[in-house]
């Protein structure tokens, strides 16, 4: 006869299994933290070695890599489609409005793929490279770490139209932004936590200059911007100036992964419209989340790690679906 403690343990295990099945669903359940333990056990150290080298010449590489993962997952799931170049039958997502002359880091991903192919040929997908590169990038910048799930495969096509419609833009209202997250199975906590990745990196003047001079065709600046911060930004981005000049997303600690992003929002120093509206939208459920993360970096780090896992679970190709590309920028012959 089964003891009461064994029975209780069985019930807990069954409940956990049902919960995971519900959260991950279908093919997502095939993702595993141990997926490469035998076939490519050094994946993490190899990827980190490439990022370490890249940081020597590009202080922004960590933010660039996590952005590639984000933009990949929001278009038909985390399938490496953002990395494909134009080719017969493929209209590249690199040329979509949210990515063109903006998304970067592709060459570093190529370096990771080359290094992994030299050690584990035909094993590690480009989609999984983006996933582990994001986790390592956050950790190297002082942020949290988490157990990455692997087993994604690469798409054989791209979806530029989907990139144009599904990736959040700096000009979205909170409602528009929320809808894009909801459509991917992500909630308001995920929205705020993942927006916290703007604790490092830069944004081009063209993505926020409308807030500085003519917000919503008012011929006036966005009233939610702190007056001193507004003057600083107007100096960086003069009206009619070069729209490709960049400003720090986090003016206080621009290269560190911390919770200063949220205290900036409380002080009306969010750079992008989509950032500041998380806090300045009256009655929005995101305000309480911003306040919680501003008050506790630990809570932010814990939520961010979970939200990255949630995002990484969006519609992956697993099993025999898709392929393992030999070159991340083109499908296999």
Residues forming the active site: 71
Cα(131)–Cα(291) distance, integer angstroms: 28
Cα(214)–Cα(203) distance, integer angstroms: 18
Helix, coil or strand: residue 155 = coil
Residue 180: name the closest of 154, 203, 162 by CA.
Answer: 162
CB 33, CB 135: distance < 8 Å: no
Phi–psi pair at 330, nearest 5 degrees: -150, 155
CB 73, CB 314: distance < 8 Å: yes
CB 85, CB 92: distance < 8 Å: yes
Cα(257)–Cα(194) distance, integer angstroms: 12
With b for 16 or more beta-carbon neighbours within 10 A and e for fewer, the 243-253 pattern comes to eeeebbbbbeb
Size of the chain, expressed as the number of residues it contains: 333
Cα(13)–Cα(16) distance, integer angstroms: 5
Question: Which structure tokens are listed for 155?
Answer: 């798409």
Cα(256)–Cα(250) distance, integer angstroms: 9
HSE-CB of 36 using CA atoms within 13 angstroms: 25
**DSSP one-letter code for 6:** H
CB 187, CB 238: distance < 8 Å: no
3-state helix, strand, coil in the chain (%, to 5): 55, 5, 40
């Amino acid at each position: 006869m089964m003891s009461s403690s064994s029975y209780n343990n069985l019930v807990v295990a069954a409940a956990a299994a049902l919960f995971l099945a519900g959260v991950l669903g279908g093919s997502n359940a095939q993702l595993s933290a141990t997926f490469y333990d035998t076939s490519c056990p050094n994946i993490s150290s190899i990827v980190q070695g490439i990022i370490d080298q890249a940081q020597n010449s590009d202080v922004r590489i960590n933010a660039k890599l996590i952005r590639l993962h984000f933009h990949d997952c929001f278009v038909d799931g985390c399938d490496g489609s953002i990395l494909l170049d134009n080719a017969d039958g493929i209209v590249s997502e690199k040329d979509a409005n949210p990515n063109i002359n903006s998304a970067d880091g592709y060459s570093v991903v190529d370096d990771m793929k080359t290094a992994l192919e030299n050690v584990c040929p035909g094993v590690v997908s480009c989609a999984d490279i983006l996933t582990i590169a994001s986790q390592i990038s956050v950790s190297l910048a002082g942020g949290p770490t988490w157990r990455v799930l692997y087993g994604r495969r690469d798409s054989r096509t791209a979806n530029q139209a989907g990139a144009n419609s599904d990736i959040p833009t700096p000009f979205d209202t909170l409602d528009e932004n929320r809808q894009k997250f909801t459509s991917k199975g992500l909630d308001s906590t995920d929205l705020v936590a993942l927006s916290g990745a703007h604790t490092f990196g830069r944004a081009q003047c063209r993505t926020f200059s409308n807030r500085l001079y003519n917000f919503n065709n008012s011929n006036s600046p966005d009233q939610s911007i702190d007056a001193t911060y507004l003057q600083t930004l107007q100096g960086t981005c003069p009206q009619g100036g070069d729209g490709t000049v960049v400003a720090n997303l986090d003016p206080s600690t621009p290269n560190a992964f911390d919770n200063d992003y949220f205290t900036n929002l409380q002080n009306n120093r969010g750079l992008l419209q989509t950032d500041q509206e998380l806090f300045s939208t009256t009655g929005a459920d995101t305000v309480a989340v911003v306040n919680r993360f501003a008050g506790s970096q630990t809570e932010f780090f814990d939520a961010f790690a979970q939200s990255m896992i949630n995002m990484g679970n969006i519609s992956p190709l697993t099993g025999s679906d898709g392929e393992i590309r030999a070159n991340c920028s083109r499908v296999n012959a």
